[in-house]
């Protein structure tokens, strides 16, 4: 089955700095890579996702890059703000009818210091 490794497990940055979280996956058949943000006591919420036919995707201060050859993908947050403080989970799956199983990384606790 799929295995997703996520680093670092904790990350502290000053407000305004950038944050980068990295994930690697094992199954070359995986083709869908979402990132979820979970604030304390809240539900996980999708913040950005990327499919294997795309190398990079950007949404305002958030970007994700994917290197299929190396089987790794990264989340980049620029101009961090205190409200970015949360646990971030990367995930990988093979997205096809009847085969959807999302494998999560262990999570990164991001703290943005004002």
Partner 1 sequence: DTEVTQTPKHLVMGMTNKKSLKCEQHMGHRAMYWYKQKAKKPPELMFVYSYEKLSINESVPSRFSPECPNSSLLNLHLHALQPEDSALYLCASSLEDGTGELFFGEGSRLTVL
Which residues contact partner 1 (rule: CB under 8 A)? 34, 42-46, 49, 87, 89, 95-102, 104-107
Which tokens sit at 11?
């990350």
CB contact set of 87 (below 8 Å; sequence gap of 6+): 37, 38, 39, 107, 108, 109, 110
Min dist. Cβ of residue 16 to partner 1 (A)? 27
The residue (of 1 and 114) whose beta carbon lies closer to partner 1 is 1
* 65/95 with CB nearer partner 1: 95
| Nearest-approach distance from CB 102 to partner 1, in angstroms | 7
Based on CB atoms, which residue is closest to partner 1, 98 or 114? 98
**Of 58 and 106, which CB lies nearer to partner 1 in the complex structure?**
106
Contact 114, 16 (CB under 8 A): no
In whole angstroms, the minimum distance from the beta carbon of 72 to partner 1 comes to 18
By the 10 Å C-beta count (0-12 exposed, 13-18 middle, 19+ buried), 13 is classed as: middle
Q: How far apart are CA 20 and CA 7, in angstroms?
A: 9
């Amino acid at each position: 089955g799929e295995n997703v490794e996520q680093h670092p497990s904790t990350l502290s940055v000053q407000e305004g700095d950038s944050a980068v979280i990295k994930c690697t996956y094992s199954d070359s058949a995986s083709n869908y890579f979402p990132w979820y943000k979970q604030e304390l006591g809240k539900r996980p919420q999708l913040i950005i996702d990327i499919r294997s036919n795309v190398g990079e995707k950007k949404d305002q201060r958030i970007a994700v890059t994917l290197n299929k050859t190396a089987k790794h993908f990264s989340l980049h947050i620029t101009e961090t703000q205190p409200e970015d403080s949360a646990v971030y989970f990367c995930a990988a799956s093979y997205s096809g009818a009847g085969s959807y199983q999302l494998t999560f990384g262990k999570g990164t606790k991001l703290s943005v210091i004002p």
